[in-house]
Amino acid sequence: MSGKVIAIFFAALVLVAGIGMYYLQVYHYYREVQPDAVPRSIALAAAEGQAVTLPVSDYRGIYSVASPLADRACFRTDPAAARGAMVHPAPTPLVPPRWFDCFDVAQLSEDLAAGRATAYLAQRNVAPKIDDVIAVYPDGRAYAWRQLNEEAEEKRTID
């Protein structure tokens, strides 16, 4: 009888720990960008060295208190404003938490691969070995995320 009690105790402990880990990964470490912190514009890196300013409206963003890679945003912009910005050579949107529903990583990845959206480098090394990337659609939809850059991929580490 006591073996069953111990087994049930450990099964319950594993279940509670699993639920706790899920909550931490999907909800606890993420924060929504507050209205007073919403950017009015975002600077994109330009091939000529002078930054290109991208106007921002209808911004919705999240960030993580635990990882510099966890920033995501959805917003609207003027796609013509991105002219002259440096195109990102290998955009790879990262999956956001399920509750951040404006950021459809599967559709965005497919559209980037098909040329229906263009990805630009916003800032290189915003954190060590991490770049800010912005994808812009011709209709003005835009998405922002952070991803590892080539230096991190070569060394397979982040600082």
Per-residue confidence (pLDDT) for residue 154, from 0 to 100: 62
pLDDT at 44 over 70: yes
Give residue 43's pLDDT band: very low, low, confident or very high (50, 70, 90). very high
Q: Which residue has the higher pLDDT, 128 or 154?
A: 128
pLDDT at 158 over 60: no
Give residue 142's pLDDT band: very low, low, confident or very high (50, 70, 90). very high
Mean pLDDT of 18-25: 80
Beta strands in the chain (DSSP E): 30-32, 41-44, 52-55, 57-64, 72-76, 118-127, 130-136, 141-148
Per-residue confidence (pLDDT) for residue 156, from 0 to 100: 58
What are the extents of the domains in the chain? 33-155
Mean pLDDT of 79-107: 92
Q: Rounded distance, CA 147 to CA 48, Å?
A: 23
The answer to whether the CB of 150 falls within 8 A of the CB of 122 is no
Per-residue confidence (pLDDT) for residue 86, from 0 to 100: 92
Mean pLDDT of 59-82: 92
Q: Rounded distance, CA 63 to CA 146, Å?
A: 10
Q: pTM of the prediction?
A: 0.81
Give residue 128's pLDDT band: very low, low, confident or very high (50, 70, 90). confident
Q: Which two tokens stand for residue 107?
A: 């559709």
Q: What is the mean pLDDT of the chain?
A: 88
Q: β-pairing, 57-64 with 52-55?
A: unpaired
Helix (H, G, I), strand (E, B) or coil at 108: helix
Amino acid at residue number 141: R
